[in-house]
Amino acid sequence: MTEEFAKLATVNDEISPRGGLDVLSRSEVARLRDASGGGLHDLLRKCALAVLTTGSDSDDPRAAQQKYPDFDIQVLQQARGIKIALQNAPATAFVDGELIRGVAELLFSVVRDIAYVATEISEGRKFDLATSDGMTGAVFEILRNARVMRPYQDPNLIVCWGGHSIGREEYVYTKAVGYELGLRRLDICTGCGPGAMKGPMKGATIAHAKQRRSNNRYIGITEPGIIAAESPNPIVNHLVIMPDIEKRLEAFVRVGHGIIVFPGGVGTAEEILYLLGILLHPDNADMPFPLVFTGPKSAAAYFEQIDQFLRLSLGEAATSRYKIIVDNPPEVARQMALGMKKVREQRIAEKDAFFFNWSLHIPFEFQQPFVPDHAAMAGLNLHHDQPVHLLAADLRRAFSGIVAGNVKEDGMRNIEQYGPFQIDGDLDIMKALDGLLQAFVAQRRMKMSGEYKPCYRVVSA
């Protein structure tokens, strides 16, 4: 332990539930306390520490554990419910010895979702996770249990995607867009971390206050491998931890009514490919889903490169599903507001719910969890001789593997042990992919701090 880490102040405390979690079964408490290989305690500890270090400027999932090696959390069964005992918790999460209320709410969201997914989804028999309907049912139940869906509200939830490692100018722009969305009484959903995930929420809070709008939603949707590297930003007031990246992505497109994409890196490219692959499926040809790529003037070249990559890999049809708007936050918000009207009309015509997009067809290939080891990455089918939505699915997996190698603990360990992932495919796709990735590295979109060492090698470029 370094001298710097040794000086970090910590606090011991016991807190009562906040954020909708009141009781747990004895079995759930036992699983959360179980520190063996089959227990949930290690996962709970990592996710809880991420919440307690909200606002961290590191994207190394091991940094917080190194700073607070003696941190521990225990769920205690009480006569009147449950309590959480914190030992050696970061003092930055407390004010005058009391845990900050927003942090406490997110902490109980962590307990809620880890317990629910383990008992009702992963090990339960309610859903057949070998089928598409079973996957969607599981996503719905996790979101319903988290109480983020509002049945009597018109479509107004805008998902914002973008990089956690962005420059000051791009961050300020995301706030400006969030402000314009807030003025139009639109709520925000992001991946819950810093950068382009924080900016829109921060801008919207000011606009919502100006409109005297209360009970606003700032939803953060994450998963265990990501939250440890990207702690929730302080504005998130509804946190949901999905069990894997595929269910996280499905949650975004099921509850969101429109999506804005800001500049980002491989995680953002993964999200773009996921959504476009779904929208390019014939069953979704008439599905209204407003999608806008936007950034400041300095990001114009970035979106040109993204646009070129999508044209080369997925074809011209992909470009009809999105708009690129540069340096114009009011216009971005206006397009989203107009899109909400079309979404509302379609949901009424289809007799579909406003709060969950049941009509959207998501092929099973997009729902299957992808474990990015070296064999899986080398075996991706990155060739044109297949339906375009299936090519998009494997391109999405390629970017998912790079995300894992960049910021996920298991992925980083895998790269350290066996070297970079090998990515191969048709020459034109590989050249476009290599050019895009090199641009991300040059623009420092891969890491928030430190020099970036690539976790991949494009073979055919």
Residue 2 has pLDDT above 70, yes or no: no
Residue 308 has pLDDT above 60, yes or no: yes
Domain with CATH 3.30.1850.10 in the chain: 3-117
Residue 448 has pLDDT above 70, yes or no: no
In CATH, the number for domain 3-117 is 3.30.1850.10
**pLDDT at residue 450, rounded to an integer:** 65
CA 443 – CA 447 distance, rounded (Å): 10
Burial classification of residue 184, based on how many CB atoms lie within 10 Å of its CB (0-12 exposed, 13-18 middle, 19 or more buried): middle
**pLDDT at residue 82, rounded to an integer:** 87
Element (DSSP H or E) covering residue 258: strand 258-261
404/219: higher pLDDT: 219
223-240 pLDDT tens trace: 998 887 788 999 999 999
Determine the average pLDDT of the residues in 212-221: 96
**Tokens 């305690």 identify what position?**
41
Residue 217 has pLDDT above 90, yes or no: yes
Percent of the residues in the chain that have a pLDDT greater than 70, as a whole number = 95
Q: What's the per-residue H, E or C state across 182-230?
A: HHCCCEEEECCCCHHHCHHHHHHHHHHHHCCCCCCCEEEEECHHHHCCC
**pLDDT at residue 1, rounded to an integer:** 41
**pLDDT at residue 58, rounded to an integer:** 64
Q: How confident is the model at residue 136 (pLDDT cuts 50, 70, 90)?
A: very high
**pLDDT at residue 61, rounded to an integer:** 64
For residues 158, 159, 163, 169, the Cα torsion angle rounded to the nearest 10 degrees is 0
Percent of the residues in the chain that have a pLDDT greater than 90, as a whole number = 74
Residue 6 has pLDDT above 90, yes or no: no
Strand, coil or helix: 89: strand
193/228: higher pLDDT: 193
Residue 57 has pLDDT above 80, yes or no: no
Task: For the chain, give the mean pLDDT.
Answer: 91
Domain with CATH 3.40.50.450 in the chain: 152-358
Q: How confident is the model at residue 19 (pLDDT cuts 50, 70, 90)?
A: low
Encoded tokens for 352: 């579909």
Q: Does domain 152-358 have CATH number 3.40.50.300?
A: no
246-272 pLDDT tens trace: 999 999 999 999 999 999 988 899 999
